[in-house]
Amino acid sequence: MLGRGGGGPRNQCILISGESGAGKTESTKLLLQHIMNLCKGNSQLEQQILQVNPLLEAFGNAQTVMNDNSSRFGKYIQLRFQRNTVQGAKLNEYLLEKSRVVRQDTGERNFHIFYYMFAGLSAEQKEMYGLLDPSLYRYISGRFGTQEVAEHWKLKYQEVCNALDMVGFQEQEQVDMQAILAGVLSLGNVTFEPEESNGSVKVSEASQGWLKAAAGQFGVQEDELLKCLICTTSVTRGEQIQRFHTQQQAEDARDSIAKVAYGRVFGWIVCKINELLAENVDPDVELREIGILDIFGFENFAVNRFEQLCINLANEQLQHFFNHHIFQLEQAAYKEEGLPWETITFNNNEPILNLLLAKPLGLLSLLDEQSAFPQATDKTFVDKLNSSFKESLHFQPARGRVLGFSIIHYAGKVQYAARGFLEKNRDTVPASVRGLFINSVTPLLSVLFTATVSRTGTLMPHVKAKVVPGADDKFNSTRKQSAGAQFRHSLMVLMERMYSANPHFVRCIKPNSQKEPGVLDSQVVLLQLRYNGLLETIRIRRDGFSWRPSFEEFAERYGILLVKPGVPLTKESCLEILQSTELKGWICGKSRLFFKYWHQEQLAKYVERLERAAVIIQKVFRGFRCKKSFLKLLAELRAQAQQVVPIHSDPERVHWCERNSLPVPMPRKRRPQSSPHPCDQSQQPPVPRPRSKLTEVAILALLGALSQVCWFPAPSTFCMHVFCMQSQENVVILVMRSSTPFDNFLNPSVPPPVLGTEEQTGEEAKMRKLKRGATLRWFTETQAQKVMQDDGAFPSWLQGMISRREAENLLIDKPLGCFLVRISQSRPGYILTYRGEGRCRHYMIQVQPNARYVILGEARAHASLTELVRYHQHVGIQPFMERLTVPCGQWHTCSAVVQEDQELPKPADPTEE
């Protein structure tokens, strides 16, 4: 999608659409997994991106009558790529259904996270958050579920906690977030009754405890919270005036506080995810993007409200985008290029969009107009619609005394209940709520209400809202922006982003309306195929040309098929390229070529065939060149060997050879040979490995001092593998190889060398020493107390700062499954070394900013290093599913690391590290 096998690199977007319950969210998760598997890049970032979905599902999905895991918000995931590797991600969310927090219809539930908390929290944690039996809470309708369902929710809660840890949420942030959610539930149980003396309302005696609990969970004063519920304070000419609420107004204020608190928590989660997954890339390299849109499906419930109108509006806009790309643009291109084409008709839903979005007489514009009038009601709004749209073919007034209206969408007729439209569009909250929550002792709640809200409804925690003194009733700078206007703006931004990218469409079809697996209702499926325009899409894909590159684009991409340099980017070159292939069915237009959908794959196969041929040519040429160089070097060495003096007759030369031997890297141990003598002719010589420049210099230094030699013991600083090549002049050539980072096979029969670090010189040694010192200080200052056991000792599996080779030497004679954890020498972190079958594996352990420990590539975060080890003693490590069994005894203890750190000089300037 980013340029391989087709056209040049270009931003892509994938639109996943369909009815509610058709499988859009599951398709999104599968697409993300597939893209992450193709990237093979930063495995930690990839795992964090994959953990976003279960986190958002818990806070943004709920059970409805159509779907047990219905998305009650829309999301657009932008994956940022640099050099075809994912480097970051950004999430945009649209129209969270906040009204679900305070009310659910029959057969529906609140957001998943409330049920997960009750099932997953321990008794001590529930007491800490002030949570009681779930059947007591009005906002979850007193319904909880069977024991089997509760066990499922408990596992889901653990997944959510792990996702929060993986993405990078701090522990205190998680505690504050759950305290706010508990406060929302307690607030829902506050009820009111009339005050007999002055006609105002008060909190009922039965719910005094719930008010106190909500105030404690929000971290505010109880009397201040009560004021927000029962009265409104305004300032007129410097004088404060209190207006007491009616019982209905008090209940509306209570529900408004609950909705805005939950909505801001959800918005903060999205902002936090974007901060933690922000790309860290080279600014000089252009980023490419793949966007995945998972948005709410078309809905038609028994009772449809303001939220269903916005959801169906979004689906109308996506259907228009689909029609525009598949039918309008494509058929217009055929006519413009002069191709023979019979026009395909389709169901154009542009009039419905005009009905909903036109200014100043569109439905949303009229809704904003009515919302601005304090005296307007839902009935006046419906009357305005009836008079404005009486001539429209897509609008129908409600019959009888029903307060509502009907709209004939592309997917069918939907009747909307207008009650509550104005209040939901105004999205009002009590005037003093913002000031109350800003002063909360719960840090997260203060952050949420200090932040401002963008024009599209996005929470911006790092941008403080503009506050006008004496105008608290304005709530913040975006108070005048209605919910409908915010949704319209966010939808406009989304469509602009998608129109600038190359779209791909995924249509999800719902098999039946009963939520039953393995059941296919042909009438339900056929209805979806018709109103989605898929039957017409199949026809235009069969008869049309889905790929239409320009002459320049095609010649630049496939000019290599002519196998000649300097192919001009012209129409003639394109025709020459196509004539050299066996493609049929393409058409040449005035300014571009037109191909069927399968032509692109066939051209990619031609290019791959040339690539394979190029590899074969390179292989043969490089082999010839290496053979020629080897024969030349062999002749020179033979000539030098005939001219030198025997080394054993000159002791000074032997001493010079040992003194001037250049060090080479210590090799990893090899499997035992059948003959110990290196010159045994019956032993087959091992295949030589590529030699480093350092090794070649050492060879020439030795051979320059050798004469007639049968065997020469290599100096201890070389630690070489030696084998012989016998020539006619009885000259033995020493061939040495250096170790490779992948050659970590273990040989138990060879005694391990003495443990110790290799000597380094120059700038490299200085940098290594600085990194080592910084890591030592990181361990002693931040980790030593965390990994230390109750008796003051370190675990037996925890080594000090040892190298990769030293770890392998420790495990060489240990049983399978033996392991150790060592401190990294070059970065703050750990490395787990595992004794496998004939080899060792090394797994990097990253310590995240939120103090969680993660093995790179794993999807689970751990609160401590000890917990990580215990977990993988029962669950294998990806991808080989190897379980830790026997801890390795300590050679270089962590106590020595602490002592070494104390002996190291501390840098005066921290930047020197």
C-alpha distances in Å from residue 828, one per residue of 845, 865, 901: 10, 14, 14
Annotated active-site residue 25? The verdict is: yes
The active-site residue, picked from 173, 289, 299, 536, is 299
The active-site residue, picked from 28, 43, 61, 70, is 70
Annotated active-site residue 522? The verdict is: no
**Bridge partner residues of 822 (DSSP):** 831
**Bridge partner residues of 839 (DSSP):** 745
State how far the Cα of 35 lies from the Cα of 45, in Å rounded to an integer.
13
Q: How many CB atoms lie within 10 A of CB 361?
A: 13
The active-site residue, picked from 11, 17, 25, 695, is 25
Instruction: Give φ, ψ of 524 to 5 degrees.
Output: -65, -40
Annotated active-site residue 256? The verdict is: no
Residue count of the chain: 913
Annotated active-site residue 544? The verdict is: no
Cβ atoms of residues 637 and 700 within 8 Å: no
- 412: which residues sit within 8 A by CB, 6+ positions away? 300, 531
What DSSP state is assigned to residue 691?
P
Annotated active-site residue 730? The verdict is: no
Q: Which residue shows structure tokens 């009310």? A: 103
- Is 350 part of any known ligand binding site? no
Q: How many CB atoms lie within 10 A of CB 373?
A: 11
Give the pair of three-digit tokens for residue 552.
């320049």
Which residue, 546, 576, 582, 544, is CA-closest to 558?
576
- Kind and range of the H or E run holding 291: strand 288-294
399-407 contacts, C-beta under 8 A, 24 or more apart: 403/378, 403/379, 407/309, 407/312, 407/352, 407/355, 407/356
Which residue, 657, 546, 536, 520, is CA-closest to 598?
546
State how far the Cα of 435 lies from the Cα of 421, in Å rounded to an integer.
27
Annotated active-site residue 198? The verdict is: no
- Is 392 part of any known ligand binding site? no
State how far the Cα of 357 lies from the Cα of 778, in Å rounded to an integer.
58
- 341: which residues sit within 8 A by CB, 6+ positions away? 331, 334, 335, 544
Q: Which residue shows structure tokens 């969408």? A: 409
- Is 85 part of any known ligand binding site? no
- Is 40 part of any known ligand binding site? no
DSSP string spanning 150-175? HHHHHHHHHHHHHHHHHHT--HHHHH
- Kind and range of the H or E run holding 504: strand 502-508
Annotated active-site residue 342? The verdict is: no
- Is 544 part of any known ligand binding site? no
**Bridge partner residues of 75 (DSSP):** 93, 294
Cα angle value 316/321/324 (rounded, 5°): 125
- Is 22 part of any known ligand binding site? yes
State how far the Cα of 659 lies from the Cα of 28, in Å rounded to an integer.
65
- 520: which residues sit within 8 A by CB, 6+ positions away? 511, 512
Annotated active-site residue 5? The verdict is: no
State how far the Cα of 587 lies from the Cα of 596, in Å rounded to an integer.
9
User: What is the identity of the amino acid at 88?
Assistant: G
The active-site residue, picked from 21, 219, 291, 404, is 21
- Kind and range of the H or E run holding 90: strand 85-94
**Bridge partner residues of 561 (DSSP):** none
State how far the Cα of 485 lies from the Cα of 313, in Å rounded to an integer.
13
The active-site residue, picked from 27, 43, 53, 71, is 71
Q: Is the dihedral of CA 304, 309, 314, 315 positive or negative?
A: positive
- Is 25 part of any known ligand binding site? yes
- 252: which residues sit within 8 A by CB, 6+ positions away? 423
In terms of phi and psi (left: phi > 0; alpha: psi -120 to 50; beta: otherwise), the region of 140 is alpha
Cα angle value 262/267/272 (rounded, 5°): 125
The active-site residue, picked from 11, 17, 20, 456, is 20
State how far the Cα of 639 lies from the Cα of 636, in Å rounded to an integer.
5
State how far the Cα of 140 lies from the Cα of 749, in Å rounded to an integer.
67
The active-site residue, picked from 17, 28, 53, 67, is 67
The active-site residue, picked from 263, 297, 773, 800, is 297
Give the pair of three-digit tokens for residue 448.
């949420």
- Is 8 part of any known ligand binding site? no
Q: Which residues are annotated as a binding site for ATP?
A: 18-25
Q: Which residues are annotated as a binding site?
A: 18-25
Active site residues: 20-21, 25, 67, 70-71, 297, 299
